[in-house]
Structure 1
Amino acid sequence: MSLLTVDNLKIYYATPRGHVKAVDGVSFDVREGEVFGIAGESGCGKSTLVHSLILRKPPMVHMGGKAIFKGMDLMTMDERESRRIRYTELSIIPQYAMNALNPTKKIKDIVWDLAREHGHTDRGELEKLLRERLAMVKLSPKVADMYPVELSGGMRQRATMVVSTLLNPDLLIADEVTSALDVTTQRVVIELLHHFMEVGIVKSIIFVTHDLALLDKIADRVMILYAGKVAEIGPTEEIISSPAHPYTRLLLDSLPKMGVQYRRQKLKGIPGYPVSLLNPPKGCRFYTRCPNVMDRCGELEPKLVEVGPGHYAACHLLGGENQ
């Protein structure tokens, strides 16, 4: 069963020079009980996409499409409705989670302000739950009485995870939560997210990253974005082992491999630069960087083609409706 269904979503940024088409016709669904990964280069629209589901502030503008969450269209909700479900049904661990907590308040006061806004009246019971959750993420219950500045980066990351999930949201968005962490702490965060699902604290997770190697460890399905468009979507194992889109293959080739020395095999970068989303080119948005470019790529936008069970890619090489 789908917990979230996004259909042809368009989220632009209004600028004096025109609209930046950060998310331009993206469709996908998140099923109950799964971790759904979103990957791509910086600027591909990952964070814009997930933040539009939580809170849209100028210059972000909804230009079209739907995002149906538990029967409600997140795009048409007013501020009161959005505040009601935020952190209780739909929550986010922000990209800069280590700096997301108010430095002037203790952790327990941050949590109390959040819970009180959602109708909680028993502070003692809430603080008991907070200390239990802190212990769950291997933090001392004493952290509840500390200020964020008293915590290390890794501790603040875990404390933010506790705050974001304390009210047991159905869908949790983890936006680049491992990008500023060392490898050991990244593993801890991944294991904690899995644990949150196992014990029923959250039902589903959207995990946003630029690192496909991380998604291989946590995600059930993956969506690859490029320049505001879906390049490929499908089961993680298939996309990692048999990528169908040239962009996905290049992303995978850019990752370091275990046991391979640099002098034997150099890392490959993706040639060129991302296109301007203020005036994106006609046709496939990757064609200016693609090693398999054809004449039609600069004229006709490719459609998603099924290349395997539940596995789709948008590339003229795959034929189908693209021909």
Structure 2
Amino acid sequence: METLPTLSRVNRPTLMHLNTELDEQSSSRAFIEANTTAMSFREIRQDHIIPVFVKDNEPLISQSDFIMATQEVVTDLFRGEQILQPQIRVSHPIKGRIPDAKDKPANQLQEWERTIYYERMMFCLEIPTIMDTIDGNTLTLMVGGVKAYNQDNLYNKKGASEHFKLFIGFKNLVCTNLCVRTDGYLADLKVTGLDQLRSGIYRLLDSYDQHKHLRQMQTLTEYAITEQQFAHLLGRCRMYAYLPGEEKKSIPQLLYGDSQLNAVCNDYYKDSSFCRQADGDINLWRLYNLFTGANKSTYIDQFLDRSVNALDFTTQMQQALDGENTSWFLK
């Protein structure tokens, strides 16, 4: 296993149970909506089956072990901090039944005859004692990840790479929007076992610069666009998807589609926390939160990519207003 000498690993607990000394979840409000369902750790741990590699019937790393491995690393690196219970959202249920019930009509199945697991899962661990305030909004540190079994090749054998997404960033307590920056995101961590997974979590948390992240977001409050610029920006955003391929290559990527852009436009007028000012102007911090708010309608496997893209996109607007570069979206 890769050695990470800058990180403490003494007295590391085994993956036997989730730390029951953690506090309750901070909020019942969802950090992602789309087609997801809230799920307890106990249910994932006790009631969900674990997919296996077809060639040798060996199990993949379970979603519950992923959550526990992350909690273990967070507890180690943030000793003395308050850590809340994980918030978990799942989607895309895969249903089955035990062999003895194979001939039963579905409406006659007993609960103990049903099997289920969820193809996609996302979770967040909140550390509320690490916090800051931007434009009157309280932000607390968050660590979490995504496990989507559809990204793994199940027609293989144990030892094949398994795919995970990891992040560390901040949650805006006003709206539960997640704020994620490039250096706080591993889009595709490929591992073959729990030790490699732990190592990847340590590496991400050790490399993340939370102060730089906060400064970057704070800077957004110093810039604003007019109502006319907002209308122009939104129109360009809608045009972006239809640009010829060669032309699109020279423009920074935008991952938001029509449904998310509709939400941004609606919330520009109606959002109680991040809508326009009376004169129609909107600062870039509020614009950023309109995008992260619209991102809640994204499916689990695309959520973090769009979250990072929202900050990159808004920062490009800030740099264009500052004269550091030109932006196709504003010109």
Category of TM-score, reference length = shorter chain: under 0.3
Pair member with larger Rg = 2
TM-score normalised to structure 1 length: 0.25
More relative contact order, 1 or 2 (CA 8 Å, 6+ apart): 1
